[in-house]
Structure 1
């Protein structure tokens, strides 16, 4: 199966308008079957190669594949090419790596495509090319109804590729329920023609707007919802609630009518005369709510127009000014422009784990916007004044001013990568008046080779072996916006094994071991490096390089003790013998 999803973002200014296609390639086991002496997946590859030349220059393209890695796994779905400017070589390299081995979760794939295309806010079309039915228990027919009811303007066109007659019904229903087309293809030539036909439909200019609802000609209250004063009708789902005007002692009003996931133009019938309070909520943008007063005359046909007074914004995020779009998940918070007496601002909206380039609806006005990288919340941006025009659409670029680093850790210069867990703390270079450094963030139980995002600047990195915290280091690094750099950290340490005997004989008793520096301070004391309690002979640990005094005793016979000196070089792996004496 090959699945293509298309969208033309409507109702926005040219700055935001864009067209996107997502191909979802089904590499299920049935795609290994043959048609005209060729594997169906090979036919699909050739078709995609030809299709790339027919995609509009303004179209952004992405690919999702499933069933290509594991047998019997309905969750085997992977984005193999992020939505962006089509790179034919990269796309075909990704497609050529696919193998037809898995199941056919076509409903999950269609849903994933719809969600990636932001189908509740934007016009979206999915083109599904399938050689068989759903094999992961979902109901394509029910999915079609659900997505159609939630979508702003959503369709699924289905190309049935060498489909058996008894497997067509679900795919036909998916297309029918969403207002799409079902097109059969029984050969390689048919497949190319069918895909081209549906691509033409998906990339066709948007149809003229539907006419406004006819005037109310029977008694009732019609609610028309518009984006801005004199602007276009809101096409998404809305929720409506009508309350009595009077409030009870608890401050609440009696609800007299409601409607959920209806469209602009909804009519309330059999209303009584009176004054009411009406709440209008955007079902898929619940931070947008308007409250209006309504005087109802039950025996008349009335129209009330609710102006949402909203506009669209697109938030584009990168690591550097004019840099590439950030692929990480993002969080955005929109606040009022002024602080209250408690020093806090009113939160207008929040969007979590969204991608760069996402389009949002916001109330008209001037707002403070704060952004963060979802998995690196210490990286934030702030825009103190961002203006939203009612009915307008503007793109806003945010630079997180950060770079990507890789931390490679070893126990000696040019030694092998350390395999244990690590801890990293990122501190400012400069100290405050109290002599303290500001902590930027920390990473705990990371591995050597771990990749992190850090703000641009000069930083002090404190590293520690997570299970040997007495082995640590400090090192400064520099990070530039959008840079990618690997940094090596040498912990200057050795691996040792304690081989303990008692009067020359092996022992399995519990031990207490203490590692001390050889040099004494002015008070005649030796610095304790670390100790180990109730350990056993043969225990392996990591110690800093250097010269040390090792003292030991039996945990339950403390009079049985001994000591020895040891010298360790960076990267050493050596046994240390210690014989305890029983007086």
Structure 2
């Protein structure tokens, strides 16, 4: 039997496997209550505490029997300062491991510690007054939402039927342990302290109640198989767990044709690890394996096929999981819009570019992805505001899982426009340019972004800073204004822009008689400039009587002529005030 073993990583399950035998009762119902409050963003041994707990839960899921009834509740993971931030991640029942892992992977350590309310909610879900049940609370601090955990423990113990709360205190300061200890001991449960990843695994192993012991065993080598063919076993890491998702397999002849291609002779799409490829010819072949839902992860290598033999090749995909959390300010709430992430090689090629490893477009904050192990550059962008970007370096550990937090340092602005101060909102379409307040050596301003043909009241995202905003009426480009605004990360501010203009309609006659002819109109400033010239404000060519436009407030001289009879003219003095709605009757003269 031949085995081709190529290396690959498994998600860090870490804790319980290291902690030795763990048991889980097939009859008991268990709810895990996980602290995701702001303090869980702290680090132990250069690892975020929430990530350590997250890995521990992933490990537990891999050891539970299918008959175990499990629920999971988290708190403090969505909003700052909200004692009601408690969420049921998984209802009590047969655990959906993949769904739980994905949900736990999206948790962020941001909020308060309503541990008493979360434990009470868990007890209610377990129907603890009539059924045997267990709660395991994992927390790194004391209650800070006004409840007494000790009093809660006594109440639950009095009402419960064979009910226990076990508490794992994770890196809890000595002056914050009393309430957690009392909650556990009041219900007959255990209070166990953990100070690092290893001891957390040991602590959880100690408090998980069992009826049947499930030994944590190393992953065995592939067993011999009797079926003739090449079996492709795909693993996450070197010596790690099998890849549970779907894969694609292609087998090519080893020889290269004149056009630098290889002939594909076998394959399978959206199959699973362990797929057997039959009827391959003897000799050397090229085997390509791709993760079907993660096509940026591909492995290709040579394999020697022995005829009429049962062979196994173990393909190490060498990948880890990452979660990308995005906000508009450091420590702010998750950004709810869509995002784009591009993973690039950290080092540039000779031509100065970086190789693209993967790209994820229009995804959400908190989404989880698989990436090849290694050190990469990550470029993030807000999908609908591509001028807002963030870049950082990240290391992906084979078989590991890690969360990465990004702040786009941006604020939300609303641009409200009117023709006069305090006037009604303008209905015309608008254009906005966002520019630097300073000019470069050439006298130009750098443009951050622009928005064209948008209505008043539209909302935009802008980067942190002080910006010059240039506004224009899209259909009246001679009507403009400028204003300076400041944007702070995470801010939400409405800005009022006054175009100081009026709306005017021109009713034209010739020698007192209405006309249907096309005319040309030119609007000039009434006063001459320093050179003795009148500045032109606007031209309107081949318009008709009744034409309506918007003009900036001021005094003007308007000249008019018939487009096809240029000897029919008129010259008029007009004045526009902010917010005007004027009808001007202009009588031209025919010689």
TM-score (norm 1): 0.66
Match of 1:535 among 543, 565, 568: 543
RCO (CA 8 Å, sep 6+): is it higher in 1 or 2? 2
- What's 1:400 paired with? 408
Output one character per residue of 1:115-172: Cα deviation in whole Å (capped at 9) or x when no partner: xx99799599xxxxxxxxxxxxxxxxxxxxxxxxxxxxxxxxxxxxxxxxxxxxxxxx
- What's 2:382 paired with? 373
* 1:459 to partner: Cα distance: 0.3
Larger Rg computed on CA atoms? 2
Q: Counterparts of 1:166-315 in structure 2 under 5 Å? A: 214-315=223-324
- What's 1:171 paired with? none
Q: Counterparts of 1:129-144 in structure 2 under 5 Å? A: none
Q: Counterparts of 1:21-36 in structure 2 under 5 Å? A: none
- What's 1:162 paired with? none
- What's 1:562 paired with? 570
Does residue 509 (structure 1) correspond to residue 517 (structure 2)? The answer is yes
Check the 8 A contact 1:292/1:306 in 2, yes or no.
no
* 1:88 to partner: Cα distance: 12
Output one character per residue of 1:223-259: Cα deviation in whole Å (capped at 9) or x when no partner: 1111011111101000111111111111111222111
Check the 8 A contact 1:368/1:386 in 2, yes or no.
yes
Q: Which runs of 5+ in 1 are unaligned?
A: 1-9, 20-53, 62-82, 92-116, 125-204
- 1:515 is paired with a residue whose SS is strand
- What's 1:446 paired with? 454
- What's 1:31 paired with? none
Distance 1:327 1:425, change over 3 A: same
Output the CA distance in 1 between the equivalents of 2:579 and 2:220.
78
- What's 2:581 paired with? 573
- 2:254 is paired with a residue whose SS is strand
Check the 8 A contact 2:417/2:497 in 1, yes or no.
yes
- What's 2:437 paired with? 429
Output one character per residue of 1:326-376: Cα deviation in whole Å (capped at 9) or x when no partner: 001000000001111111110000000000001000000000110100000
- 2:557 is paired with a residue whose SS is strand
Output the CA distance in 2 between the equivalents of 1:328 and 1:493.
36
Output the CA distance in 2 between the equivalents of 1:573 and 1:123.
58
Match of 1:457 among 449, 465, 472: 465
* 1:524 to partner: Cα distance: 2.8
Distance 1:265 1:317, change over 3 A: same
* 1:504 to partner: Cα distance: 1.2
Output one character per residue of 1:470-513: Cα deviation in whole Å (capped at 9) or x when no partner: 11011100000000000010000000111111111211211111
* 1:17 to partner: Cα distance: 6.4
* 1:566 to partner: Cα distance: 1.0
Check the 8 A contact 1:421/1:465 in 2, yes or no.
yes
* 1:525 to partner: Cα distance: 1.9
- 2:343 is paired with a residue whose SS is strand
Output the CA distance in 2 between the equivalents of 1:123 and 1:324.
17
Check the 8 A contact 2:321/2:368 in 1, yes or no.
yes
RMSD value, Cα: 3.2
Check the 8 A contact 1:563/1:579 in 2, yes or no.
no
Does residue 388 (structure 1) correspond to residue 404 (structure 2)? The answer is no
- What's 1:58 paired with? 74
Check the 8 A contact 2:11/2:398 in 1, yes or no.
no
- 1:338 is paired with a residue whose SS is coil
- 2:238 is paired with a residue whose SS is coil
- What's 1:582 paired with? 590
Output the CA distance in 2 between the equivalents of 1:495 and 1:552.
18
Match of 2:427 among 406, 411, 419: 419
Does residue 340 (structure 1) correspond to residue 340 (structure 2)? The answer is no
TM-score (norm 2): 0.65
- What's 2:335 paired with? 326
Output the CA distance in 1 between the equivalents of 2:240 and 2:288.
20
* 1:270 to partner: Cα distance: 2.5
Q: Counterparts of 1:76-95 in structure 2 under 5 Å? A: none
* 1:211 to partner: Cα distance: 9.1
Decide which moves more: 353-362 or 568-577. Answer: 568-577
Check the 8 A contact 1:121/1:236 in 2, yes or no.
no
- 1:496 is paired with a residue whose SS is strand
Output the CA distance in 2 between the equivalents of 1:283 and 1:524.
74
Output one character per residue of 1:394-427: Cα deviation in whole Å (capped at 9) or x when no partner: 0000100000000000011111101000000000
Output the CA distance in 1 between the equivalents of 2:530 and 2:438.
32
* 1:469 to partner: Cα distance: 0.6
* 1:534 to partner: Cα distance: 1.1
Output the CA distance in 2 between the equivalents of 1:483 and 1:84.
16
Distance 1:444 1:90, change over 3 A: farther
Distance 1:498 1:582, change over 3 A: same
Decide which moves more: 400-409 or 529-538. Answer: 529-538
- 1:302 is paired with a residue whose SS is strand
Match of 1:485 among 481, 488, 493: 493
Does residue 499 (structure 1) correspond to residue 515 (structure 2)? The answer is no
Output the CA distance in 1 between the equivalents of 2:425 and 2:587.
33
Which segments of structure 1 move beyond 4 Å, counting only runs of 4 or more? 10-14, 16-19, 87-91, 117-124, 207-214
* 1:555 to partner: Cα distance: 1.1
Match of 1:525 among 533, 553, 565: 533
Q: Counterparts of 1:1-20 in structure 2 under 5 Å? A: 15=51
* 1:538 to partner: Cα distance: 1.2
Distance 1:552 1:437, change over 3 A: same
Check the 8 A contact 1:12/1:312 in 2, yes or no.
no
Output the CA distance in 2 between the equivalents of 1:118 and 1:440.
42
Output the CA distance in 2 between the equivalents of 1:249 and 1:342.
28
Output one character per residue of 1:33-59: Cα deviation in whole Å (capped at 9) or x when no partner: xxxxxxxxxxxxxxxxxxxxx984328
